[in-house]
């Protein structure tokens, strides 16, 4: 920062540009728009289903027909993409998560239906096994360990199935070593060179995922924890190593997850690599704001927008969030 020794009070008054609304807008360093947002959506089987998620006030599990309506609204608001996640009933979960490789599973049917109804909206698919395994882990469990290379082979097949269903972005969230390169090779061999990879490059073993696990039906089934493959929240340099590896393996963009507690990581990643960098405002972050607002402890709308602009200020190109449609409605209202 350039220092000007002659610019001091009272000649310099920092409050001067803040005095009026027009001036505050003119001097604003970062701006939030619907184009910065990706709406996270939880899918569920059925028709005309909008099932409230208790741990995420205001969020619902949506059947495919309802997800189509949400996609139409999101596109109308200027939101470029949806990130889809499946609720899987316990009776459809297996030790090896075979449902992940069913080309007619909920995720695939949803992609085909949404793309038919709203062809110009982007769709992002989570690639991992945790929505489908009966032990709740993102990979294959063998004798108490998550096996890396065997899991990666399954993830490649899953990514190809998602691409064939119409997903524009596959987002491996498993944190297995080498999976980005393997998925890129698999997609290219299958003729899906146009499909992007957004790598969950710096995904931490966080306490903020709890409401999401309820949302997808994984609550209470996780055997052990995920610290052998997700990152230690104490580590920062390690995130840069993970990002470097994923970019070298062919990731088109990288993600930091969770978001608000890891804004320093977003900033470091963007400064170090200059690559397209996204942040995931996860379920626990959403739930905290909603719960506090519901109890009258803070202004929910202001807190929502303040949390989202924080990601932009930290350097994120975009934000995956459960707030996307709600925030876009408010941004449009504020611009009217």
CA distance 147 to 180: 16
Write the CB contacts of 17 (distance below 8 Å, at least 6 apart in sequence). 23, 24, 26, 27
Q: Which is the catalytic residue, given 115, 203, 226, 290? A: 203
Write the CB contacts of 223 (distance below 8 Å, at least 6 apart in sequence). 135, 136, 137, 141
The two three-digit tokens of residue 329, written as one number: 């409605």
State whether the Cα torsion 166-246-280-307 is positive or negative: negative
Q: Which is the catalytic residue, given 226, 257, 270, 290? A: 257
CA distance 109 to 105: 6
CA distance 276 to 281: 17
What are residue 198's DSSP bridge partners? 253
Task: Break the chain down into helix, strand, coil percent, rounded to 5.
Answer: 45, 20, 40
Most distant CA pair in the chain, distance: 72
According to DSSP, the β-strands at 37-43 and 318-321 are parallel
Q: Is 312 a catalytic residue?
A: no
Q: Which residues are catalytic?
A: 203, 257
């Amino acid at each position: 920062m350039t220092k000007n020794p002659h610019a001091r009070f009272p000649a310099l008054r920092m409050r001067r540009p803040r005095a009026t609304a027009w001036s505050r807008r003119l001097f604003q360093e970062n701006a939030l728009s619907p184009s910065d947002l990706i709406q996270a959506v939880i899918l569920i089987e059925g028709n005309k289903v909008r099932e409230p998620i208790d741990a995420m006030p205001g969020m619902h599990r949506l059947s495919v027909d309802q997800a189509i309506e949400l996609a139409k609204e999101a596109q109308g608001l200027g939101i470029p993409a949806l990130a889809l996640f499946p609720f899987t009933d316990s009776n459809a979960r297996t030790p090896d998560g075979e449902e992940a490789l069913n080309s007619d599973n909920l995720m695939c049917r949803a992609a085909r239906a949404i793309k038919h109804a709203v062809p110009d909206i982007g769709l992002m698919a989570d690639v991992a096994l945790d929505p489908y395994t009966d032990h709740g882990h993102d990979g294959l469990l063998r004798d108490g360990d998550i096996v890396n290379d065997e899991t990666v082979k399954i993830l490649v097949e899953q990514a190809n199935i998602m691409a064939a269903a119409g997903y524009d972005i596959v987002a491996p969230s498993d944190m297995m070593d080498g999976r980005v390169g393997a998925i890129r090779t698999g997609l290219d061999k299958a003729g899906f060179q146009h499909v992007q990879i957004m790598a969950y490059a710096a995904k931490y073993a966080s306490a903020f995922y709890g409401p999401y696990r309820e949302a997808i039906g994984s609550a209470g089934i996780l055997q052990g924890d995920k610290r052998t493959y997700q990152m230690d929240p104490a580590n920062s340099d390690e995130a840069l190593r993970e990002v470097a590896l994923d970019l070298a393996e062919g990731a088109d963009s990288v993600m930091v997850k969770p978001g608000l507690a890891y804004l320093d990581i977003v900033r470091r990643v963007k400064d170090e690599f200059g690559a397209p960098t996204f942040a995931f405002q996860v379920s626990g972050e959403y739930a905290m704001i909603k719960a506090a607002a519901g109890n009258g402890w803070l202004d929910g709308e202001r807190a929502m927008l303040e949390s989202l602009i924080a990601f932009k200020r930290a350097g994120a190109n975009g934000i995956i969030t459960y707030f996307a449609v709600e925030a876009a409605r408010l941004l449009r209202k504020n611009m009217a």
